[in-house]
Amino acid sequence: MNKIVLFFSLLIILLSGNAFAGKNDTLQYPLDYWFKKCEPHQAHYIRVAFKEGDWWHVQDIYAQTGTLYKDGLYSDDSMTVGGGMIFFYHPNGKLEKKARHIKGKLEGLVKVYDTAGHLVDSGIYSKGIPKKAHYKWNNEGKLVFKGEYDEEGYGVGQEWEYFEDGKTAAWGITGVEGKRDSIWTYYNHAGGITALDMYDKGSRIGRICYDEKGEQYNGTCEDTPPQPIEKSKDLGRKINAAFRDYIEFNAIDPRTLTFKKGTVMIVLITVKEDGSVERINIAHGIDPKFDRYFATELKDAKFIPAKAGNRNVKQTQEFPIPFG
């Protein structure tokens, strides 16, 4: 069924100036990685939308692979208020997520899968609010998050985060609508408290920090994403050098690799607690061969690890790299 739908979508894309082009009930336009309208050469997705009664049937297609990313119905012209089942797919065609929506809000059981088809996220929702239970696992099947909520769907409950060794990393209470409330506690691997956050209806109103000895101190301990150890100019030189090496090794005429303004590569880098790189994913590439080459070159890069709850944590960070 998906292949038939995808074929119809691609047919619309290819037929510029066809019978559909002048109709207001069929739309087709490029979207960038962040789902904003863009120039065709910046496209990460191609959106094809056509009216089915009062609904917009929206299909977002990966621009680089031609495979389906999203398929679902929306009730508004901005195509943000979903209705019914909406399906999401990885670039390799495997199901990423399936979720039922009522008036744009999640309803019922929602499941998320990784690129290999393993379940990594499963939760129950009522009007977009967590209900009963929510679990998350890493790619190895280890539990990294657990939420327990009231049966009525108010979102009142408790949530736990876990390190990959199974030890508790954080714990706290959720109030109405599943928003963080009261005191949230963060732990290190040894079980010591690293920070206490005070929440009120989802807003953090204070934080207390603790050093390695478990003693409170007056400094700040704000959360920070992973950062390259090299200065930005040095990292830029490394990127340019990798690009030159790629051109030389493949005997490519540089004049054939000119990029229009706004061309960007989106790199997702997973940095471990010690600052080493665990995984590099080229989320939006510029050339398949160069994308693979670039990912290999960046494997040995060193980072300052992310901080969350006043301790180092593994985290995936998005790095946009302009080429145009």
- Residues 141-181 have pLDDT tens digits of 999 999 999 999 999 999 999 998 999 999 999 999 999 99
Residue 278: other Cβ atoms inside 10 A: 13
Question: What pLDDT score does 255 carry?
Answer: 66
Q: How far is CA 323 from CA 36, 79, 228, in A?
A: 19, 31, 19
Q: Would strands 143-149 and 119-126 be described as parallel, antiparallel, or unpaired? A: unpaired
| CA 309 to centroid of chain Cα atoms | 21
pLDDT in tens, 208-238: 999 988 999 987 899 999 988 866 556 666 6
Token pair, residue 96, equals 């990423």
Percent over 90 (pLDDT), the chain: 67
Alpha-carbon distance of 105 to 178, in angstroms, equals 14
pLDDT score of 139: 86
pLDDT at res. 14: 40
CB atoms within 10 A of CB 324: 12
Structure tokens at 223: 């959360």
Number of C-beta neighbours around residue 194 at 10 A = 22
Q: Assess whether pLDDT exceeds 50 at residue 9.
A: no
Long-range CB pairs of 233-236 (<8 Å, 24+ gap) are 235/301
pLDDT range class, residue 260, cuts 50, 70, 90: confident
Q: Which tens digit of pLDDT belongs to each residue from 41-51?
A: 999 999 999 99
Quick one: pLDDT at residue 321?
83
Position 11 confidence tier, pLDDT thresholds 50, 70, 90: very low
Residue 257 has pLDDT above 90, yes or no: no
Element (H, E) at 52: strand 45-52
Asked if 247 contacts 257 with a C-beta cutoff of 8 angstroms, the reply is: yes
Q: What is the C-alpha end-to-end distance of the chain, expressed in Å?
A: 39
Helices (H), the chain: 2-14, 232-249, 288-298
- Position 311 scores a pLDDT of 95
The predicted model gives 196-200 an average pLDDT of: 97
pTM: predicted TM-score of the whole model, two decimal places: 0.83
Q: Report angle CA 283, 135, 155 to the nearest 5 degrees.
A: 110
Q: pLDDT band at 243, cuts 50/70/90? A: confident
pLDDT at 238: 67
Tell me the pLDDT of the chain averaged across its residues.
87
- pLDDT (average), residues 75-98: 96
Check residue 4 and give its pLDDT: 40
Q: Residue range 247-273: average pLDDT? A: 81
pLDDT in tens, 265-284: 898 999 999 999 998 899 99
Distance CA 99, CA 84 (A): 8
Task: Choose among 91, 147, 139, 144: nearest CA to 113.
Answer: 139
